[in-house]
Amino acid sequence: MAEITQQRSRSRLWWEIAIVLTLTIGQNAVYSVLQLVRRLTLEVPLSDQSAQLNPVRPDQAIWDAVYLVLNVTFDLALVALVVYLLWEPGSNALRRIGLDFSRFGGDLGRGALLFAVIGVPGLALYAASRMLGLNVAVAASSLDAAWWTIPLLVLSAVRAGLYEEVIGVAWLYDRLRRLGWGWWTIILSTAALRGAYHAYQGFGAIVGNFAMGVVFGWCYRRWGRIMPLVIAHALLDIVAFVGYPVAAALWPGVFAPAPSPSPTGTPSPSPTPTP
């Protein structure tokens, strides 16, 4: 009887993983890989294509803002869903995964350290990938659409940290551990998933986000708290989104969007892409 109950529990975990990933980052990964394949079939070289992360049309700025807020709301609802699934009687799920403010000072310091460790090499990898023709030009944002653009970009960056780290690390690590997976198997497999849902940006982004997933996974295993990862991820995206126009002006050959066709007509492969 105990064996049957255990088998049912494992089956339930696999179904939960399949359903949640299909609704969230797994879906993003499928669209992202397909978009990379489409890009490679174009006659235009990969380095001459572009990807717009936060498209803004100045003549429709208010509607862009409305849709962005709705997108953030629905993504955060998915984050709430996995936190709900992690909740157990007598146990606070937020405290168990370290998504609280009980150690905010330490979390902030560790997040800033992760930001430095990932951000500088990540920027260098992106520049090198662009020069080698392995990445598209990632246009992160435009700051001149309306006064609320920067606050909404910051909101989008916070959403990115919560969406990817809570779902792709805290929740998924918990479920895979319950299935008996070893720590390094989990870290490497989830890092590969992180690379996959950024594949639409090119091969440099796959490598960079895989490395980021390994570092973040190791840190989560060591610290047992997701908050530093959320902070680091949000800081990375805030700098990328808000600093992009400056970088594009200073180094247009590397950061400016390419004036050439890119695949269109597909859903966004990732609502929270990380540069």
Using CA atoms, how far apart are residues 165 and 161, in angstroms rounded to an integer? 6
Is residue 12 packed enough to be buried (19+ CB in 10 Å), middle (13-18) or exposed (0-12)? exposed
Q: Measured in whole angstroms, how far is the alpha carbon of residue 50 from the centre of its chain? A: 18
pLDDT of 225 over the 70 cut: yes
pLDDT, position 273: 43
The partner residues of 138 in beta bridges, in order of sequence, read 51
Spatial contact of 141 and 54, defined as CB atoms under 8 Å apart: yes
User: By C-alpha distance, which of 228, 226, 215 is closest to 106?
Assistant: 228
Spatial contact of 53 and 273, defined as CB atoms under 8 Å apart: yes
Q: Which amino acid is at 182?
A: G
Spatial contact of 9 and 148, defined as CB atoms under 8 Å apart: no
pLDDT of 271 over the 60 cut: no
2-14 mean pLDDT = 79
50: left (phi over 0), alpha (psi -120 to 50) or beta: beta
What is the value of pTM for the model shown? 0.87
Half-sphere exposure of 75 (CA within 13 A, CB side): 25
pLDDT of 269 over the 60 cut: no
pLDDT of 270 over the 70 cut: no
pLDDT, position 275: 41
> Other CB atoms closer than 10 Å to residue 157's CB: what's the count?
24
pLDDT of 98 over the 70 cut: yes
Backbone angles phi, psi at 241, to 5 degrees: -70, -45
